[in-house]
Amino acid sequence: DGQTWHSVTVAPVGDGLYTITGVDITDQVLFERTRRDFVTNVSHELKTPAGAISLLAETLTDCADDADAVRHFSMRISQEAARMSELISKLIELQKTQTIVPDSSLVPIEVAPVVRQAVDDVSVLSERKSMIVSLNTACDVTARISPKDLRSVVKNLVENAVRYSDEGGRIGVTVDRCDGGARIRVVDNGIGIPAGEQKRIFERFYRVDRGRSRDTGGTGIGLAIVKNVVEEAGGSVTVWSQPGDGSTFTICLPPVETAGSGVTTDDDDG
Ligand code: ADP
C-alpha cells in the first residue's frame, strides 16, 4: 500500500542531547505480514474440510443402520479427505517452488517433450469431460528450467483449462519460439475470467468464484505455483481472457545462451 516502516532508536548522548536512528524495515514488515496471511489462509483452508469430515463422521455414526445414508456420508467424507489431500500436495508443490537462490546448475532442456508429458498427466481429467486437447509443438525450443517444474506449470494450466470449461470443450497447447526464447500457450474456450479479476488470480488462495471453485475442486494455489516457477526461471506469465469465450495463458521463457550448453531431453517420468 505504498507505506514505509521504520524502527526508531533514541539514545542519550549526554547534556540532554539524543541521537535518533531510523532504520527502514519495510521489507521485514511486509514479509512478516505475507507470512502471517499465508499461515492464516492455510489454516482456514485446512480447517474447512477437517471440520466437514468431523461433522460427517458424527452424522454417519448416528445413522449407522441406514445403508443409503451410510453410503452417502462415506462418499462425502472421502470427497472432503481428497480435497484436503489435494491441498496438502499443492502446498508441498508451492513450497518447493519458493527457492530463493536461482539454480544456476540447471542445464537447458527441450521444452516440447516435457509439455507433452504434462498434457498426458491431465488426460484422465480431460477425457472424463470429453474434452479435446490439441497439441502443437515446435522442435528445438529450449529453456533453462527444471523439467519437473516445467511439467508442474503446464499441468496446472491444463488442469485449470479443463476445470473451468464445460463438457466437450476444446483446449489448445502450443510450444513455439518468441524473441529467441520459448513460448508455451494454453488456450481454452471455457468460462473465462472477468477483466477485474485477472491480476489477482496469481495470488495464493485467490479464486474468482469461491463457491463454484469449491464444487469443481481446486485449491487457489495452482497459478501461484506457475508464477513462482516461471519468474524463478526469468520468464513471465500473462493471461488474456473474455468471460464466456475462454482464456489464454502464455508463458515466455528467456533465450538460452548457446555457448557450451548441451541440451538434454527429459525422459524422467517422476
Ligand atoms: P484453483 O485451484 O482454484 O484453480 P488457481 O490458482 O489455479 O486455483 O486459479 C485461481 C483462479 O483463477 C481459479 O479459482 C479460477 O477462478 C481462475 N482460473 C484459473 N484458470 C482459469 C481458466 N483457464 N479459466 C477460467 N478461470 C480460471
pLDDT digits (tens, 9 = 90+) for 76-122: 999 999 989 988 998 888 888 766 555 667 889 999 999 999 999 99
CA-nearest residue for atom 3, ligand 1, is 220
CA of 205 to the centre of ligand 1 (A): 10
Cell 516445467 locates to: 150
The 10s digit of each residue's pLDDT in 1-47 is 567 888 888 998 888 899 988 888 888 887 777 778 788 888 888 88
Whether the CB of 218 sits within 6 Å of ligand 1:
yes
CA nearest ligand 1 atom 19, residue: 160
**Which atom of ligand 1 sits closest to the CA of residue 156?**
7
122 vs 155: CA distance, rounded Å = 7
pLDDT at position 183 is 98
- If you measure from the C-alpha of residue 160 to the centroid of ligand 1, how many angstroms do you get, rounded to a whole number? 6
**Contact 169 CB / ligand 1 (< 6 Å):** no
- Say if residue 135's pLDDT is above 90: yes
What is the number of H-type helices and E-type strands within the chain?
A: 7, 9
What per-residue confidence (pLDDT) applies to 265? 55
Write the Ramachandran bin of 140: left for phi over 0, alpha for psi from -120 to 50, otherwise beta.
Answer: left
CA 2, CA 145: separation in Å to the nearest integer? 33
Which stretches within 4-66 are classed as H helix?
A: 26-62
pLDDT number for residue 109: 94
Q: What is the ipTM of this complex?
A: 0.98
Distance CA 244, CA 189 (A): 8
pLDDT of residue 103: 62
pLDDT band at 261 (very low <50, low <70, confident <90, very high): very low
Query: 226-257 in b/e burial notation, b at 16+ Cβ within 10 A?
Result: bbbbbebbebebebebeeeebbbbbbbbbbbe
Q: In which residue are the cell numbers 445413522 written?
A: 63
In the prediction, which pLDDT does 211 show?
57
Q: Please work out whether the CB of residue 246 comes within 6 Å of at least one atom of ligand 1.
A: no
Residue 79 to residue 43: CA distance in whole angstroms: 19
Upper half-sphere CA count for residue 82 (Cβ side, 13 Å): 11
164 CB under 6 A from ligand 1? yes
How many angstroms separate the CA atoms of 129 and 220, rounded?
Answer: 21
User: Would you say the CB of residue 190 lies under 6 angstroms from ligand 1?
Assistant: yes
What is the structure's pLDDT at 79?
92
For 144-201, the pLDDT digits (tens) are 999 999 999 999 999 999 999 999 999 999 999 999 999 999 999 999 999 999 999 9
Residue 196 Cα to ligand 1 midpoint, Å, equals 14
Question: CA 138, 235, 194, 90 torsion: positive or negative?
Answer: positive
Question: 10 CA distance to ligand 1 centroid (A)?
Answer: 49
Q: Is the CB of 208 under 6 A from ligand 1?
A: yes
